[in-house]
Structure formats: structure tokens, C-alpha cells
Amino acid sequence: MKIRYFLIPVLLIFFWSSFTARLQGQCLPGFISTSVTHEITVAGFGTDFYNLDFPQFNPALGTLSGVSLQTSITLNFGFYFENRNIFAINRNMRVTRMDDFSSPALGAQSPIVNNPPIYNSGIKNLAANDGVPNSGPDYYEMPVTAILNNYTQTTNVTDIAPFMGTGNVSFEYNSSTFNVITNGSTSNIATSNSTDDIITFRVIYTYCAPIIVPSTVKNFTLQKQSTDKLRLSWLIPNDTHGKEYVVEKSKDGTNFTAAGTILYNQSLSGNYSFIYAIQSIDKGYLMFRIKEMNPDGSFFYSAVRSILLEDIRTGIKIYPTLVNDYVQLSMEGQASKDVLVKLLNSSGQVLQQQRANSNTITLNFEKRLTAGMYIVQVTDLRTRQQTVSKIFAR
């Protein structure tokens, strides 16, 4: 094979290019185009950094024909400003968002930058200061509102080869949110804001799989029901007596084992669900499918659904949330590990940080905090996963 690459590189490149183009349009006879989606959802405060790992596409499933990367962003923002001048003013609040992600697997296509639409509050008329704080015609407040609601962008990967294998593909994801008062000077204007977001990052593999009689399983979903349970739901439009539905799980997408069986139940009208209790060994990615068993012994498989279970059974408890001089963190359900704790103000500025290796951490404030909201960010230095929590200084 190596000799052929050296002797006829032009021929091989032409063959691969034409074959890939044909796969993206249609599959060869005996194969059907299908897809599998892996996704991770994170929650933060508008400006964050995440390390995200996704499984590569396993060639045993079929021939990979395309890879799409998709981000969905919900950004919640609220603010107030109050005129402290002795004259009336007109001001606007502008919010700009920028997300970017990079990966060695993307090569020259990295980084990929997303710029959602700019938000403007519109001109607000603020009367001259009336001496009464947080009220009156000199004051304006917008409650926390979704200024981006599931804003979605999709990028098609140009070189899909690095996404094939049995390992992982790693991404570095950065989110940045900026707000500024416009339409005049910011002098003598008291202002504060609250920002939080939810980001869902998806890797979508499109591939050609051998044609198999399709399963009748529809609307198959996999969701976290609680910290120690997953809920699987699916619909069988034309359910028949004698059928069984075996819930199968896998760590690698190839080797599946039975997690439980649901028998035909006429009273459910084809709407089935299964609760999976998360085990202590369930770490990282877990994949599920439904094996649809017929009375004659034949069976079909549903599509595969996956979920990231890293730290799903763990949490970080922070107390008190109304603070003066310190805050204490308790790593619930975890062994001691190497973490970095950061204290940030509402603008995302790091005020102090502390490295620790303990299940209980006390962060003593180096300076007295002014009244307002602050963010405690905990980063696992081994997995690079982050947890963020709000605290409030009196």
C-alpha cells in the first residue's frame, strides 16, 4: 500500500476526492446514509473556557462521509443604569458576543469563530438625578432576558480523516461576552449587569452504513433525569403483541451489553421509557440503543444516543453564598483531586486564585469585597472540566 502511494499519488488523490464527493451526495448500492450526534452542554457566565472531548467516528459503523460541528447558544442578560448627573441623558446598552473553538483535528480550518448578532437595548431616556437610588425617572432596569435564544451555527469540516478512529477528538472552546454603554459618556452613570449562558456543542457524523431492515423505534431520546439517573424514551407507532425492547449500553459504540428489557404493553400506546441507574463505573461517554425484538426472533437496532457522564454523580457545594471574608467549597462524592479555584467579579476579571488538593477548600478573600455578585470558578486540572457558582458579597 505504501508503494502505491509513492508510485501513483495523483491517481490515489483523485480517487479519494471523487469517492468522498460521491459519498457526500449518496451512498453506494447496499448502503444507506445515516448520522450519529454527540453533544455536550455547559453552563457559564458569558465568558468562559472549556475543554471538550468527543469520541472519534468508529469505522466499524460504516464509511464516514461528513463531519459537522454545531453550536447552540442561549445568552441571558440583565442590567440597570442610573443617571448620577444633574442633567438628563440618553443611553443605550450594547452587548457583543463572540465564541470560538479550535482543535488539532481541524488543521488549517482552526480556529472557527462564531459572531452572533449584536444586542442593543435601544435608547433609554434618563432624567437628571433625583437623589433616590435605584428608582425614579433617572433609573432604568432590564430584568434578565434571553437576548440569544438557542442561536445555532453549523460548520462543515473540510478534512474528516482526523475524526476517524477509536480515540477522542479534543476541542478548546472560548466564549466571550462584552457589554458597553453607548450614545454618550459613561461618566457619573451607576451600572451593573448579570450574565449567564448555556452552550450546546455537537459533533455530527454522517456516514454510509450497510442497509438493515430499519427499526420502528421513533423519537428516541436520552436525558439526565437526576444526578444518578438517566431517562430513555421512545415511540413505537405500530406496536404489536409479543414484542420486547432491550435497552443496550456501550462505552465504545461497538460492544453493547443489555441494561434492561421492556415488554410489550398495550396500555402505553407505544410510548415507552426506561430509567437507567448510573453506576460508579459509568464515567466519560455512555452510549445507548434499543434492540427491537419480534416474536419470530428477528430484531432491529435503533439509532445510537450518547451522553457524557463525567462528574454527573459529583458536585461542588459552596457555602455561604452570602459572604463577608471567605467562602468554603466541598467536593461532594469525589476523591481529593488537583483543582484551581478562581474568584472573579461580574465582569469576568480574576481577583484571586488558589490551587488545592482536598475535598474541602477554604478561600479567604485577600481584600474585602464590595457589595455585589461574584463568580467562583473551579477547574479540575486533570480533566480541565469547570464548575462555576455565584456568590454575593454584602
For 243-283, the pLDDT digits (tens) are 999 999 987 666 789 999 999 998 899 999 999 998 877 76
Q: What is the pLDDT of residue 254?
A: 61
User: Looking at the structure, do residues 49 and 21 belong to the same domain, yes or no?
Assistant: yes
45 class by beta-carbon count within 10 Å (0-12 exposed, 13-18 middle, 19+ buried): buried
Which range among 21-35, 95-109, 112-126, 131-145 shows the weakest confidence by mean pLDDT? 21-35
User: Looking at the structure, do residues 359 and 262 belong to the same domain, yes or no?
Assistant: no
Q: What is the pLDDT of residue 284?
A: 67
User: Looking at the structure, do residues 181 and 275 belong to the same domain, yes or no?
Assistant: no
User: Looking at the structure, do residues 381 and 286 belong to the same domain, yes or no?
Assistant: no
User: Looking at the structure, do residues 322 and 294 belong to the same domain, yes or no?
Assistant: no
Q: What is the pLDDT of residue 211?
A: 59
| 129 pLDDT more than 80 | yes
Q: How many CA atoms lie within 13 A of 95 on its CB side?
A: 23
Last residue of a domain, one of 190, 209, 228: 209
User: Looking at the structure, do residues 238 and 365 belong to the same domain, yes or no?
Assistant: no
Q: Note the pTM of the prediction, 2 decimals.
A: 0.52
User: Looking at the structure, do residues 186 and 148 belong to the same domain, yes or no?
Assistant: yes
What mean pLDDT is predicted for residues 68-97?
95
Which range among 11-15, 120-124, 310-314 shows the weakest confidence by mean pLDDT? 11-15
Q: Say if residues 68 and 155 touch (Cβ distance below 8 Å).
A: yes
Q: What is the pLDDT of residue 366?
A: 87
Q: Mean pLDDT over all residues of the chain? A: 82
Q: How many CB atoms lie within 10 A of CB 22?
A: 13
Strands 322-323 and 386-393: parallel
User: Looking at the structure, do residues 181 and 246 belong to the same domain, yes or no?
Assistant: no
Last residue of a domain, one of 184, 209, 234: 209
What mean pLDDT is predicted for residues 49-72?
89
| 13 pLDDT more than 50 | no
Which residue in this structure is represented by grid cell 415507552? Answer: 272
Q: Per-residue DSSP letters for 195-251?
A: EEEEEEEEEEEEEEEE--PPP--EEEEEEEEETTEEEEEEE-TT--TT-EEEEEEES
| 227 pLDDT more than 70 | yes
| 188 pLDDT more than 70 | yes
Residues spanned by the domain of 225: 213-308
What mean pLDDT is predicted for residues 350-374?
85
What mean pLDDT is predicted for residues 154-175?
90
User: Looking at the structure, do residues 196 and 229 belong to the same domain, yes or no?
Assistant: no
Q: What is the pLDDT of residue 258?
A: 93
| 200 pLDDT more than 50 | yes
Q: Which of 96, 99, 35, 98 is nearest to 67 (CA)?
A: 35
The CATH number covering residue 348 comes to: 2.60.40.1930
What mean pLDDT is predicted for residues 325-345?
75
Last residue of a domain, one of 290, 308, 326: 308
What is the domain count for the chain? Answer: 3
